[in-house]
Structure 1
Amino acid sequence: MNICIGGDLDGKVFSFNKGLLDANDIEDGKFSKYRRRRSITDQKVYKFWISLDVNLEEAIKRVKLILESFNK
């Protein structure tokens, strides 16, 4: 999936093979920084970019909502 949660790139999808993403590397003038996180559901691995500015609890809620809609 590689969906960005929060920050300047919220909702956008980027697939990079690294652990950190700087929004300015994607779009000039963007300042958010993201860490790639994994979520394992039903033995499937999903990856998300979580903004360092987003509360982890809020990010987990958003990931759950995305996975629920994806798995319908």
Structure 2
Amino acid sequence: MAGRKRETTDDQILRAIALSPHPVVVASELGDELDMSRQGVFVRLQDLETEGLVRSAKKASARVWWLTEEGRISLSQGAE
């Protein structure tokens, strides 16, 4: 993979989504929580969506993200 080394794991991103008090999150919220840029989080979320671990939808002026069942399973297996 080109570019900077990932300091935030996929599991950390999935966990932050799972622990959110809201049913969906936006990239800027995750960026603040994980100390990442909004753009960095957005790229990672797109990768996770390609893997089937999260889904997204455009709502008003923002793209919102949530865990899929596969994402929940992956997160629970990563915690073992």
Q: Please give the TM-score of this superposition, normalised by the length of structure 1.
A: 0.34
User: As a proportion of its length, which structure holds more strand?
Assistant: 1
